[in-house]
Amino acid sequence: MRTWQRLAALAVGAALLTVTACGGGSDDDGSSTGSDGGGEGTGGTFSVGIDEPDSLIPGRAQGAFDEMHALFSGLVRFGDQSEPQMLHAESIESDDNVVWTITIKPGWTFHDGTPVTAQSYADAWNATAYGPNAWANNAQLSNIVGWDELNPAEGTPATDTLSGVQVVDENTLQVTLKAADSQFPYKLGQPGFYPLPAVAFEDFDAFNEAPIGNGPYMMDGTWEHDVQLSVTRYEDYQGPRPNADGITFRIYSDTTTAYTDAIGGAVDIVSVPQEKYKQVASDFPDSYVAFNAIRLDWLGFPLWDPRFQDPRIRQAVSMAIDRDAVNEAIFGGLYTPATSYHGPSAPGGGTEGLCGEFCEFDPDRAKELLAEAGGWEGPMEIWFPGGVGYDQTFEALANQIRQNLGIEEVTTKSQPGFVQFLEALDTQQATGPFRGGWGSLYPSMQSLLWSVFSTNGDGRAGGGSYASPEVDALIAQADAAPSLDEATELYKAAEERIIQDFPIVPLFYAKYVYAHSSNVSNVIIGFDQIELNEVVVN
Amino acid sequence: MGKYVVSRLLQLVLVFFGVTLLIYLAVYALPGDPIRALGGDRQLPESVVNAMREQFNLNDPVLLQYVKYLGSLFTGDLGTDFNGRPVADLMGQRWPVTIRLALTAWVIQVVVGVGLGVLTALRKGTWLDHTVLFFTVAVISIPVFVLAYTAQIVFGVKLGVVPVSGIDDGWPLSYLLPSIILAIFGLASVARLVRASMLENLRADYVKTAMAKGLSRRRVVYRHVLRNSLIPAVTFLGIDLGYLLGGTVIIEGVFNLPGVGQLLFSSIASQQGPVVVGVATVLVVIFLLANLVVDLLYGVLDPRIRHE
């Protein structure tokens, strides 16, 4: 359960605006008053339903994006833009995409009054990248020179600082990368790149109970585990001033309960669980928001299995799936059927029809393709982690394949949980199509393409361990591209090249759906999840 | 009697070692690498995985892990979960919630269950007897989460008489609805047990004797018949208390009560050995203690039963 929630949270964090403000939300969209401009806050407090964070230390927390954005401010933010907006950074520059100079705005302070300096960033990055700390966001820094020395395969590292991070002066950092990365400014929005105050290093466990950040809100008391955490506005915050005086994050172990609580008005903003997508419009007629996540859901294949070698087999499966029907039946029509390998929420993504006929529903052509590829014998098993919200979807997909592809025996092979499911992919034990998905932590095609389809990607198990030297070369070219536009074109070229091999069956560009009570308005969902600063308490 | 209690307590120690070892082995035997799964779709770097495996002794053979676990247990260290939270803290925070919930439910079972049992036994065959029978059967046949969600919508959202979820309002308000739902299922059994046993005893010779001696019906029923009829119900209630403490996963989830049921469930799913062993061991000990109390109660209820 936890893992699944964490994954969902990751993906939510990786979500971009493109607010398809369903239900009109007459009170939402219209009133963009009271936002930024350093105006008077409108006051009041509101509550947000969350799941128990795994940690509140930015380098360590895998979920907790809303709490993190309340307590900490990074160098850049995204809001409703798909390009990084300077938050604490003054400028982020490089001539060669290898050596980056970052200057920060002076005068910012942590909640204990100490200044946020270049050193605060360097110290935090060193701690996150230090292997023995075993912080989950360690890999976000893996392209910085010196990361390898901090993460040896065996034994303790000889040093505890990243040699590629130099503090030039109080407000200037110089970062040297192992390989050129045109998307580095995007990556700086990830929690692994947030600063930490000196006090954190005295005792991380104690710090975690009441973190002292540099964000728009500061802790009010300590983290009441499994119950709530409260924050109040930090009056010396130098960024855009938030509207509300305070926020209570109420912790739920069951998202359905949070949803019911929101109907009862006991919590103001909640993420809508998938099984409620079909009824959210009637439960919250004017107050729900669905937005395009940077998330692709797909069906992966055991590419190591000889029976799945022929791309026509995979294309046949793709054409046998009526995405619209599944979308209506399971997601209340809120998702978008995929026609490419990347959703539209990052620049260059969502190329209409890139997939061609193979993402169209055509059972006859599907059967033809299957026959051309030599047909199918025996059972086809669909793998997914059971009991964590995927059961219905994958039962439906199995039915579609059975009916439309004429394979008599299509069975679901539900695994006891995520641990066992991932093990089956890692050890290449999976014997049939399986659940795949990727939520990007920053709005660039690089995240999904590199992680899932490159030879060194950290998510390649979910893509059936696809590998192609050509794709690797295209992604590397894009990473080194002199401008963002050129990079985007090269990522698109990589995507086109991958889709020729058709390693996965793209299913949906996922959406994330939030609902809110009448106690609050101006609820905007952006890339950084809920735009907490903008929320107005009525 | 004293000797009996001491020997039972000594058995507890043996059971403690056996159970912790068994649970440790069971968690270890689950397939898959729990550390690997922490990253989800994103694989954690090798160095991070290694550091965590080292930290949680996962690279050691299982028996050595167990010995290390016991070793730190005797220094008062119950270990931590994968997020670094001490298991002692986790349990210290969650046990009180579960104990409140389970005891409230249990008391409802005792009071209402025994009450209904006595009532239906004395009014055997009347409309009251039939109505109670019908409703207990009907309620038992509804899946617990359906009943829980329905009650939550009706009493929490629509009527607003109890909180929808959470423990903000404290005991008893926050615990009332979940306790009732939890109690309903055992309640029917208690009522049935008491009813059957009462009916049997009401026909017994000693009742006739007592009546003939001129004792009031009230005194006969409550002092003699009820007391003798409680043994099956006490057996059930003793075991049921253990069940209530350990089996509240669904109710805790639906009503968002941060108790041990949820903790146990999620720790098993993420294979966090120290947490599972810690929580489960306490559960087993409570269960055994409850059974001991039940055995001692037999002697109190029925003087013919003695513990030498």
| Partner-chain residue, chosen from B167, B256, B266, that has the shortest CB–CB distance to A2 | B266
A133–chain B Cβ distance below 8 A for any pair: yes
Residues facing residue A144 across a β-bridge: A177
CB contact under 8 A, B37 and A135: no
pLDDT of res. A9: 40
Residues 46-75 of A with CB under 8 A from B: 54-55, 62
Task: Assess: ipTM above 0.90.
Answer: no
A253–chain B Cβ distance below 8 A for any pair: yes
A252–chain B Cβ distance below 8 A for any pair: yes
Which helix H or strand E contains B20, and what residues bound it? helix B2-29
Q: How many helices (H) and strands (E) does chain B have?
A: 15, 0
Q: Which residues of A touch B150 (CB under 8 A)?
A: none
The predicted-structure confidence for B270-307, as pLDDT tens digits, reads as follows: 888 888 888 888 888 888 888 888 888 887 877 777 66
By C-alpha distance, which of A118, A11, A97 is closest to A478? A97
pLDDT band at B308 (very low <50, low <70, confident <90, very high): low
Nearest residue in A to B158, CA atom = A264
Alpha carbons within 13 A on the beta-carbon side of B204: 17
Residues A66 and A270: beta-carbon distance below 8 Å = no
Residues A244 and A41: beta-carbon distance below 8 Å = yes
pLDDT of res. A207: 96
- Only one residue has tokens 């299913």, namely A507
Size of interface A-B (CB pairs under 8 A): 160
B1–chain A Cβ distance below 8 A for any pair: no
Dist CA B144 CA B162 (whole Å) = 19
pLDDT of res. A41: 60
**B246 or B87: which carries more pLDDT confidence?**
B87
Name the minimum distance, in Å, from the CA of A253 to any CA of chain B: 6
Residue B73: pLDDT above 90? no
Q: Which residues of A touch B30 (CB under 8 A)?
A: 419-420
pTM listed for this prediction:
0.85
A283–chain B Cβ distance below 8 A for any pair: no
b/e string for A176-212 if b means 16 or more Cβ within 10 A?
Answer: ebeebbbbbbbbbbbbbbbbbbeebeeebeebbbbbb
pLDDT band at B252 (very low <50, low <70, confident <90, very high): confident
| Partner-chain residue, chosen from A153, A253, A417, that has the shortest CB–CB distance to B46 | A153
B155–chain A Cβ distance below 8 A for any pair: no
CB contact under 8 A, B266 and A133: no
CB contact under 8 A, B165 and A1: no
pLDDT band at B247 (very low <50, low <70, confident <90, very high): low
pLDDT of res. A6: 43
Name the minimum distance, in Å, from the CA of A226 to any CA of chain B: 6
Dist CA A167 CA A513 (whole Å) = 41
Dist CA A464 CA A301 (whole Å) = 5
Q: What percent of chain B has pLDDT over 90?
A: 9
Residues B115 and B231: beta-carbon distance below 8 Å = no
Domains defined for chain B, CATH in brackets: 87-270 (1.10.3720.10)
Q: Tens of pLDDT along chain A (538 residues)?
A: 344 444 444 443 333 333 333 333 333 333 333 334 344 567 899 999 999 999 999 999 988 899 999 999 999 998 877 889 999 999 999 999 999 999 999 999 999 999 999 999 999 999 999 999 999 999 999 999 999 999 998 889 999 999 999 999 999 999 999 999 999 999 999 999 999 999 999 999 999 999 999 999 999 999 999 899 999 999 999 999 999 999 999 999 888 889 999 998 889 999 999 889 999 999 999 899 988 888 999 999 999 999 999 999 999 999 999 999 999 999 999 999 999 999 998 999 989 889 999 999 999 999 999 999 999 999 999 999 987 788 889 999 999 999 999 898 999 998 888 888 998 998 899 999 999 999 999 999 999 999 999 998 999 999 999 999 999 999 999 999 999 999 999 999 999 999 999 999 999 999 889 999 999 999 998 888 899 999 999 8
| Partner-chain residue, chosen from A7, A134, A458, that has the shortest CB–CB distance to B52 | A134
CA A443, A448, A449 angle in degrees (round to 5)?
A: 120
State chain A's mean pLDDT as an integer: 89
CB contact under 8 A, B37 and A54: no
B33–chain A Cβ distance below 8 A for any pair: yes
Task: Name the 3-class secondary structure at A310.
Answer: coil
Name the minimum distance, in Å, from the CA of B263 to any CA of chain A: 10
B256–chain A Cβ distance below 8 A for any pair: yes
- What are the respective helix, strand and coil percentages of chain A, to the nearest 5? 35, 20, 45
Residues facing residue A511 across a β-bridge: A292
CB contact under 8 A, A422 and B266: no
Which helix H or strand E contains A126, and what residues bound it? helix A118-129
Which helix H or strand E contains A201, and what residues bound it? none
pLDDT of res. A40: 53
Name the minimum distance, in Å, from the CA of A138 to any CA of chain B: 7
A264–chain B Cβ distance below 8 A for any pair: yes
CB contact under 8 A, A422 and B255: no
Q: Which residues of A touch B149 (CB under 8 A)?
A: 256, 260
Q: What percent of chain A has pLDDT over 90?
A: 77
Dist CA A250 CA A230 (whole Å) = 8
Which helix H or strand E contains A509, and what residues bound it? strand A505-516
B55–chain A Cβ distance below 8 A for any pair: yes
Q: Which residues of A touch B264 (CB under 8 A)?
A: none
Q: Which residues of B touch A55 (CB under 8 A)?
A: 83-84
Name the minimum distance, in Å, from the CA of B112 to any CA of chain A: 28
Full DSSP string of B158-210: IS-SS-SSSSTT-TTHHHHHHHHHHHHHHHHHHHHHHHHHHHHHHTSHHHHHH
Q: Which of B30, B36, B43, B47 to mutate to test the interface with A (most CBs of A within 10 A)?
A: B47
CB contact under 8 A, A142 and B45: yes
pLDDT of res. A324: 96
Residues 222-251 of B with CB under 8 A from A: none
| Partner-chain residue, chosen from A136, A251, A461, that has the shortest CB–CB distance to B44 | A136
Full DSSP string of A254-307: -HHHHHHHHHTTSSSEEEPPGGGTTTHHHHSTTSEEEEEEEEEEEEE--TTSGG
The predicted-structure confidence for B127-140, as pLDDT tens digits, reads as follows: 989 998 888 888 88
| Partner-chain residue, chosen from B40, B149, B265, that has the shortest CB–CB distance to A7 | B40
Name the minimum distance, in Å, from the CA of B66 to any CA of chain A: 22
Contacts of A377 (CB under 8 A, 6+ apart): none
